[in-house]
Amino acid sequence: ASSITVYTRAATASPVFMTLASPNPEGYQQVFLVLARQPGWLYVRLPVRPNEGTGWIQQSLVTLQPNTYRVVIHLSQHELWLFHNGAIEAAFPVAVGKPAAPTPTGRYYIVDGFDTSHTYENGQPVFGPYAFGTSDYSDTYTDFTGGPAQVGIHGTNEPWVIGQSASHGCIRLYNADIVKLAGMMPVGTPVDITP
């Protein structure tokens, strides 16, 4: 489908909440986190503002993919934990949003993942070799570096900030760690961001 209609209730006669282009403006297929199901319908977390928004979509418009992974980001501990089948698979130190631009807490998911090794600033790959986009958006910024201020999980050209609250809201990992995470975690993975 070139677009996916989101409804307020599980019925085509219900009011339309919004319509999302697929692929999205960045060129990636729309991905949703399924929260509940009814025959022919999926209640999903949406990859848009406001954060943690939900709605109903027709199941026939999407392909369901099981996912046994989950990420928990502990902001105060500056750690990202990757769970697989309920057990911790890996843990990584991270940098999180600074006090002036905190990382929003809540329940989100991974909406896309892509190579960022070509994104340079002052001769350094700004976002490291890889980045994941989440369904979380900054409460501080409405746009950032030409994008919609989506909270990312990515590498960094400033490894000395890992373990601190120093980003504009994104979750930064050591570049070697984001490469490991990229090899383990699929798009669609739920992400819980806790204080």
DSSP notation for the chain? --EEEEESSSSTTSPEEEEEESS-TTS-----EEEEEETTEEEEE-SSTTTT-EEEEEGGGS------EEEEEETTTTEEEEEETTEEEEEEE-BEE-TTSPPPPEEEEEEEEEE-TT-EETTEETTTTEEEEEEEE-SS-S-BTTB--EEEEE--S-GGGTTSEEESS-EE--HHHHHHHHTTPPTT-EEEEE-
Q: Which is catalytic among the residues 74, 84, 118, 154?
A: 154
86 CB-near residues (< 8 Å, 6+ apart): none
74 annotated active-site: no
Our answer to whether residue 170 is catalytic in this structure is yes
Q: Please identify which of the residues 78, 84, 168, 170 carries the catalytic annotation.
A: 170
Which residues carry out catalysis?
154, 170
